[in-house]
Amino acid sequence: MMQNRTFGVRMFQAVNGLFLTALMALTLYPFVHLLSVSLSEGAEASRIGLHLWPRSFDWVAYREVLISELTWIGYRNTVLRTVIGTALTAALTAMTAYPLAKAYFPLRRTWIVLIVFTMIFSGGLVPNYLLIKELGLLNSLWALILPGLISPFSLLIVRNFFQSIPVSLEESARIDGASELTVMWRIVLPLSMPVMATIALWTAVGHWNAFFDAILYMTDKNKLVLQVILRKIILEHQMIGQYDGAGLNMRTAQEAVEAATIIISTLPILIVYPFLQKHFVKGVMLGSIKG
C-alpha cells in the first residue's frame, strides 16, 4: 500500500511537471515568436510558421524603431502618465479608503453606496468627452489621469484590507499621542504594502496599456502615448518612418517592425513586475497565517 501510494505520488508529480512545462511553453511562445521575428531580416520575418530563433539575424527593425522621434515621444508621454497616475491613484485611494474603514466615520454607508453606484452606472462616452472639453483638458496629460484617478473596485479592496488590521495597533498609537494621519502613514500603510503594491501594479499596467482615451482627447502628435503609436503600426499597417518622416529602410519587413515595437513597449512592465512580486508573495503568506 505504501509502495502504491508512493508510485501514485510520483506519477502525479511527473504529470503535473509535464503539464506546467507545457503551460509555460504556451505562455512564453508568443513572446519568443515576437522576439524572433523582430530580429529577423526581410523575407524571413514575413515567413509564415513557427519562429523560435531568427535564421537571418538582423537588428535593423530595432534600429528603425529607436531612431524614430515619435517612438521616444510616445515613451515619454506614457512614462509620465504611468508614474504620475499610479502615484496619485495609490495615495488618494489610501486616503479615501482609510476613513471609510472606520465605523465612526459619519454617513459611511451612504458614501459606500454612492461609490458602488458609480461602478454600475456611468455618464457615457459623449458626456465624458464634453466634460473633458469644458474643463479645458483636451491635449493635456491630466485628461488621461483625472477621469480614472480613483477606481471604486480598488477603493473597496483597500478599504476591506484596512478593516482587517487589528484596531489595537491604532489604539496604542493614539494613546502615545499619534494623530489620524500619523496612524495611517506609519501604522496602517506599512502593514498594507501587499494590497497597495497590487493596486499600484493594476494601475500602472492599466495606464501603460491604455490607448482609447488618448485617441479621444489627444490630437497633437507630441502628446501621443506609446500604445497609440503601436496601434497605428499594427492595425493601420503604417511604418514608423512613413508616419513621422524618419526615413524607414524599405527592406525592413512590416512584421519585423511591428514585433520590435511590441517588444520595446512591453519591456518596462516586464522589468517592473519582479520588484512588486515579493509583495504579492508576502500578501499570500500573511493571508495564510491569518487564515
256 part of a folded domain: no
Tell me which of 10, 34, 60 is where a domain ends. Answer: 60
State the burial class of residue 136 (Cβ atoms within 10 Å of its Cβ: 0-12, 13-18, 19+).
Answer: exposed
- CATH number, position 82: 1.10.3720.10
160 part of a folded domain: yes
281 part of a folded domain: no
Q: Which residues of the chain have a pLDDT value below 50?
A: 1-3, 239-251, 284-291
- The range of the structural domain enclosing residue 51 comes to 2-60
Please tell me whether residues 23 and 86 are part of one structural domain. no
Please tell me whether residues 109 and 228 are part of one structural domain. yes
Lookup: cell for 70: 515619435
73 part of a folded domain: yes
278 part of a folded domain: no
Lookup: cell for 235: 492595425
Please tell me whether residues 215 and 87 are part of one structural domain. yes
pLDDT at 241: 47
Please tell me whether residues 32 and 98 are part of one structural domain. no
pLDDT at 143: 92
Q: How many CB atoms lie within 10 A of CB 50?
A: 10
Under DSSP, is residue 40 helix (H, G, I), strand (E, B) or coil?
Answer: strand
Please tell me whether residues 74 and 49 are part of one structural domain. no
State the burial class of residue 208 (Cβ atoms within 10 Å of its Cβ: 0-12, 13-18, 19+).
Answer: buried
Please tell me whether residues 191 and 232 are part of one structural domain. yes
pLDDT at 289: 40
Please tell me whether residues 24 and 101 are part of one structural domain. no
Please tell me whether residues 142 and 200 are part of one structural domain. yes
Q: Who contacts 62 (Cβ-Cβ below 8 Å, separation ≥6)? A: 38, 39, 260, 264
CA of 258: how far to CAs of 46, 97, 230, 269, in Å? 11, 42, 8, 18
CA-based nearest residue to 259, from 46, 74, 77 = 46
Please tell me whether residues 83 and 55 are part of one structural domain. no
Lookup: cell for 149: 484617478
Radius of gyration of the chain, Cα coordinates, nearest whole angstrom: 25
pLDDT at 21: 92
277 part of a folded domain: no
Please tell me whether residues 140 and 16 are part of one structural domain. no
Under DSSP, is residue 224 helix (H, G, I), strand (E, B) or coil?
Answer: coil
Domain count, the chain: 2
How far, in Å, CA of 202 to CA of 213, rounded? 17
Helices assigned H by DSSP within 187-253: 189-191, 193-209, 212-217, 226-234, 240-244
Please tell me whether residues 129 and 193 are part of one structural domain. yes
